[in-house]
Structure 1
């Protein structure tokens, strides 16, 4: 059965006479066809695009790349035999287009290709994430991320300090930005500072600022990060790396709500909400005398724990597609999907670097991929990885196999749980019961 015409929109860009002769046949099989110039094409949403690719387009390829990247659908190139022989046209078409046709048209073949492009566009669209819209969102639908979003919605309106804990790469700064964005201070500054990335002798000046002449090289007054965040939110990342002397100064600020610039004697009142993050065990650091217990209790009024990627079952493919779209703008390559092999390899990988590692591997994959899809080897992962496990009872093996099967199917079908259940050959109620049993989602 044909899709309704309103759901099958074809846009022909810079059409030629041969393109116009296609219109009656395409409309007869259910396509709603429109044509326009390249410059006005972004104003016309479509499900499939057909571009009459000419020498002028190849001389200004960025306009074509921009159109295809932003349209979030599949495009077919139309070329004359002469244009097909132009230098580098083959690489350009293979990189950016779903398929191509040479003139004169084989009408029946064109209709088949457009239909296949439409199907591929719909398939790709299910996993697509608009990077610009979601750049600052906590993406995912797993149980840990849903619970995190719910917790942040409760904590954001308060003025209390929040300590954000979790492994490296789990998005602690993103959590801090979410708390700020949902707070009453959202229209005021959000000022982050990485306590582990600034040389120890500069941290005090960075945090509290300094007056002109306070030390050698202080040629002018400097406003510190705390003062710059006045009215807004101060985010102290890797707070566990803050030297003990600075911990005392920070504690004094939290108690008295004012600072003094280095070299100055005038107290300056500052109103900020303090968020702190760490991946280290602060309780252990306190026991070893490396972190002040009184500062710990000042910062740890409210607490958020970010989940590692290995526990976010079903979020992997969504995040991978998000990064593929986000970094495609940087690499100048078209967003690519992931092969089945790549999805399996990602599902088996333990992700010690968490979401940051996933982002870096996808970025690498976009650069190295030679085909239309990103393969496991492009990500630096093994497609067939042997895992060894200790011996256990038959029930242990069954439990692990059941858990792995649920994780694997969620990695590929998290957007449609009915299909996920069907792939496993079980009913939807049974599928939900198993998710609950294994505490997934």
Structure 2
């Protein structure tokens, strides 16, 4: 059974357009409330966090109404990073966690992500059942059993203390000048505060959210802003987060950007040397560069690949008992410390590596030579199915034959936006460009 409105990371879309409407949020709140409160007891609770999008107010209120209508008690955290919701769901003994965010998307979008009582994102099976409840409707509780809602003021501080406690003792950041770009998003207060408390000289960027400027020309998807700040201030390193702070990019002292693959390579190597890398493997998605796989193999380590989406990375980590995984896009998952990708936590681990090794960011951020990789996106409209068009299928088949033995090809629909993603890797740059462009041309012609 296919999911109707859940994607690879919750429900996501343009605010006030299906499925991201206040009415849908109300129904989702009631459905997930019924799913987790199925014994009639009024001790059940849910924590709700959000990023800084204007529409967050609307969805927060609608979800609260739906949840309390089924007897759930709601604790409102306000703007906090997504990993904080995963953490607090478990530590506050909540039955459910909700994050209102569209992550790295533009400000007009929003999304709703759910976490179970263990702090991990819900399984496909749970999301299918919640969809069924949304479509069938749920019965509201009796008036005397309606849930309560209240704001929680210390959620951010609990999260800050948790990420600080992940660092080895005796690793102060005093003397490090750090640019932190918070993308005008959920970590705009937590990230600079954590770094300052750890002793760093902090240069904050993207810390003035106004409801409409999240991810706008800043953050992990627009790293030029942080890179320019690093160079201009003579900083030792830059940390660029996305809108909900579950992704990170590292900028070295020269302004060079290290993506998730390079960060994972560093952590996997260091953890393996310290005997901390569980299972001798790193879990990453099919998008990770072939250069990362070669780097790990040369060190006697394995790369376990999954479908795209940090939730699938986490599922494989839990199944195999692995403790390090992530995505090229900057989700870094360290299950010793967190239940989902945590950009700030990964950034602090990178700073700790700088201090412990006495090496510069540039020495730690360039661990392997990447195999040339080209990714292009084609936007399509609702109802269109470009990958089912005969000319597109033919172009993909031709590209696969041309790359056979020379590289690899990955074509997929985005799980968070109406995009067809065309990605290929090949040592031959001309062939790489040619095969990607041939497919993109056919996809564009079909939409």
Task: Tell me if TM exceeds 0.5.
Answer: no
Bigger fraction of residues in helix = 1
Report the TM-score when normalising by structure 2.
0.25
Return the index of the structure with the highest Cα Rg: 1
TM-score of the two chains, using structure 1 as the length reference: 0.25
More strand by percentage: 2
